[in-house]
Amino acid sequence: MKIQRDLALPALDHVSIYIYPTVGQLQSSIRMGGATWVGGHAQPELRTILLAAPTGVEGQISLERDLPHELVHILLYERMGDQYHNLPTWLNEGLATLQEGVPNPAYIFELDRAARENALISMHSLCASFPISEEDALLAYAQSASFTQYLLDIYGVGGVALLLDAYQEGTSCEGGIQRVYQRPISQLENEWRWTSLSNPNLLDFAQPLLPWLLLGLSVLVVFGIIFLLSRRQHKG
């Protein structure tokens, strides 16, 4: 896998894969915490992957998408060891989603819709877990993949490797971002929105400058009034 080469993730000598013909049968075998839409699950400590894939073309597409995704979780566990669960959920799932063999069109749709409607989820809230509802979870996966791709594009695989190192050493979600990228996650998120999404939230970027903008506007208004008064006095 490309991610295995880029991030120097360890090789796997074996992985156990169990394939169920329906999502319902997969759900009955494990507890998914109410996330009934989940079609794949990895148990990294056991090097085990559980997938739902019906027979036929649909099942083949599901396997090509979900198997690489779940394999990434196991590879990350092999690299991180006991600190695997310290990985921010957005980074763990973002790296996994980027390796899916068949991109999910629902991710593109949800990300575009949320950007247009100013309904994106804050990346900070995706540090610990993802939403349970299917629509919100799709958006969380889409955002995580897009945000992680932005980090790879702008700062390279070296930056992400350093981020993994930081979390392996026990750094918090915010602390890892600050340590590697020298800025808070909120600022990095704003940069991602501006650069990667077609409908950036301009208010996020203008807000720090708002007092100065208002001051400048007030000065212009005052000068405008003075100018008008001077014109009237000159005419008189």
Q: Is pLDDT at 235 greater than 60 in this prediction?
A: no
Q: Are 147 and 123 in contact (CB under 8 A)?
A: yes
Q: Is pLDDT at 112 greater than 80 in this prediction?
A: yes
Please write the tens of the pLDDT for every residue from 169-200.
Answer: 999 999 999 999 999 999 999 999 999 986 44
Q: Is pLDDT at 206 greater than 60 in this prediction?
A: no
The CATH number assigned to the domain with range 2-200+210-235 reads 1.10.390
* Residue owning tokens 């590697």: 180
pLDDT value at position 174? 97
Comparing 4-13, 42-51, 88-97, 144-153, the range with the smallest average pLDDT is 4-13
Q: Which residues of 108-121 are buried (b: 16+ CB within 10 A; e: fewer)?
A: eebbeebbeeeebb
Percentage of residues in the chain having pLDDT higher than 90: 59
pLDDT value at position 84? 96
pTM of the model: 0.80
Average pLDDT over residues 88-96: 97
Please write the tens of the pLDDT for every residue from 13-67.
Answer: 899 999 998 878 887 777 655 555 567 889 999 999 999 888 888 888 889 999 9
pLDDT value at position 185? 97
Distances in Å between the Cα of 164 and the Cα atoms of 38, 80, 90, 93, 139 are: 26, 8, 13, 13, 23
Percentage of residues in the chain having pLDDT higher than 70: 80
Residue 8, phi-psi category: left (phi > 0), alpha (psi -120 to 50), beta (remainder): left
Q: In the chain, how many H helices and how many E strands?
A: 10, 3
* Residue owning tokens 């494990």: 30
pLDDT value at position 219? 57
Average pLDDT over residues 153-168: 95
172/204 Cα distance (integer angstroms): 24
pLDDT value at position 205? 36
Burial (CB count within 10 angstroms: exposed 0-12, middle 13-18, buried 19+), residue 185: buried
Q: Is pLDDT at 210 greater than 50 in this prediction?
A: no
pLDDT value at position 200? 44
Average pLDDT over all residues of the chain: 84
Residues near 161 by beta carbon (within 8 Å), at least 6 away in sequence: 7, 8
18/52 Cα distance (integer angstroms): 9
pLDDT value at position 5? 84
Average pLDDT over residues 128-137: 91
Q: Is pLDDT at 157 greater than 90 in this prediction?
A: yes
